[in-house]
Structure 1
Amino acid sequence: MNQFSHKSFKNSITAIVFLVTTAGFSQNQNAFTLKIDSFSAKIKEQKKPQLIDARGPEEFSLNHINGALNFNLETENYGKYTDALDKSRPVFIYSIGAGRSGQLAKELLKNGFSEVHDLEGGIAAWIGSGKPFYTNLKSKLTLAEYNKIITDNNTVLVDIGSRYCGACKKVKPVLETIRAEYGANLKIIEIDLEESPQVISDLKTVTVFPTLILYKKGKIVFKKEGADDLKKNVNLAFAN
């Protein structure tokens, strides 16, 4: 390869790397996950925010962020919904986690939307931080009742999640193992978004589903997300 060809080859490679980097940067600028405070602040900046709940219709009917529209990639007449949105304005999306909302965000970007934002922690982060929301449910458990359970029992394990959350389902068999081992020595409370949304909001401590909290004599021993090492953490709490 002569000097001129070698130089041209190097320039071509540099140009390709630049284009790939620029494309990646551009996509990151247009679609990225926002934490709850940033997500909420950006929505407030919009006169008529384009806010989408990417969960199923049955989930949406039980609770959702005020002003949200409900559709996802499985929605019938999906194109009709996307056509009603303004591609030049930001779109805000949430689900339970990042699964359905993340897929929808990618699809909207692919179809020419200029700016798409996904909510980190989804509906759990919104309701769990005490933000206003719609619900057609009356919570089975109140904050006062929750606090009484914590006060009246020496050791309490709280599982906060949703029946529609895949990760939450993985917690249940672990809870059964813990319940079988500790029996009456451990009070276990399971709080679902579909049954007690208001107490989740009032606690102002949940940022993602599932959230596990262990109390001992009214004090928090640990708070964690997911079932990983849950049994080990409970065993350590009883050992101390």
Structure 2
Amino acid sequence: MKNFFATICCAFLLLSCKGQTAGGVEKIAPAQFSQKLKSENAPQLLDVRTPGEYAGEHIDNAINVNWNGPNFETEVAKLDKSKPVFVYCKIGGRSSQAAAKLSQMGFSKVYDLEGGILKWTAEGYAPKTDRIIGMCSQEYNELLNTDKLVLVDFYAKWCAPCKKMAPYLEKMTDEMKDKVTIVRLDADEHKTLVEEMKIAELPALFLYKDKKIIWQHKGFISEAELKQQLQ
């Protein structure tokens, strides 16, 4: 009986420890993420995207360790486990996985940026720049110069919902061309528009009539549901 009781106690303690580890990860919005970064002396800020993504844009003073790279654990093990670690990726998927791994490795506190650098930029925390990346607003407005409806789809090659929607959007582009002009814009190639329009989630759909937005949607939508909006 004593052995049984001891076994139960040990199991309870193990579960408790696991709960505490999971509790070491906190997903926070850009405003809070920014505040906590400023409150730390030399914060440990980790960008877990690819080197190419990091080179294109990153939060100041972030170090780059690719979550999908072969040396993730080896590289992050060099960080101070007693200090908070701030983690982000593009929209939050990879950073959530990386944050869980850091917690398992014994890091005391991990802050995961909600919505990733896409939301960070949309909410105005990225440095302002005069450099235009991709289409400018004037060129974008020229796309709307038509009597037909215009559906603009902002997508990304790495975005799973975007990939799922691509086949029927391409089909609809041809099937509905007499009624609707469908324009698909890669968000990574048109960063200026994404920032100006404060796009914080992909895919992002905007439906225009007479140059005015009459409907918009973020995230996945089925072909049937989308067609209802275009009737």
TM range (shorter): 0.7 to 0.9
Structure 2 residue 93 is the aligned partner of structure 1 residue 109: no
Q: Pick closer, same or farther for the CA change 1:130–1:201 going to 2, 3 Å.
A: farther
The aligned counterpart of 1:91 is 85
Q: Provide Cα deviations, 1:58-100, integer angstroms capped at 9, x if missing partner.
A: 2222222232211124435445532432212211112234432
Aligned residues: 229
Structure 2 residue 171 is the aligned partner of structure 1 residue 177: yes
Does the 8 Å CA contact 2:49/2:94 hold for their aligned counterparts?
A: yes
TM-score (norm 2): 0.81
Kindly provide the amino acid, as one letter, of the partner of residue 181 in structure 1: E
The aligned counterpart of 2:62 is 68
Does the 8 Å CA contact 1:90/1:115 hold for their aligned counterparts?
A: yes
Where in structure 2 are the equivalents of 1:1-240 lying within 5 Å? 20=15, 22-23=16-17, 25-79=19-73, 81-132=75-126, 138-150=132-144, 152=146, 154-204=148-198, 206-217=199-210, 218-226=212-220, 228-229=221-222, 231-239=223-231
**Percent of matched pairs sharing the same residue:** 32
- Runs of 4 or more above 4 Å deviation: 11-19, 151-154
State the 1:19 CA deviation. 6.0
State the 1:236 CA deviation. 1.8
State the 1:44 CA deviation. 2.5
Q: 1:88 is paired with a residue of what secondary structure? A: coil
Supply the RMSD in Å over aligned alpha carbons: 3.1
Does the 8 Å CA contact 2:154/2:203 hold for their aligned counterparts?
A: yes
Q: 1:26 is paired with a residue of what secondary structure? A: helix
Q: Following the alignment from structure 1 to structure 2, what is the Cα–Cα distance between the partners of residues 237 and 77?
A: 47
TM-score (norm 1): 0.79
Q: Pick closer, same or farther for the CA change 1:222–1:193 going to 2, 3 Å.
A: closer
Q: In proportion to residue count, which structure has more helix?
A: 1
Does the 8 Å CA contact 1:163/1:169 hold for their aligned counterparts?
A: yes
Q: Following the alignment from structure 1 to structure 2, what is the Cα–Cα distance between the partners of residues 23 and 63?
A: 37
Q: Following the alignment from structure 2 to structure 1, what is the Cα–Cα distance between the partners of residues 21 and 128?
A: 32
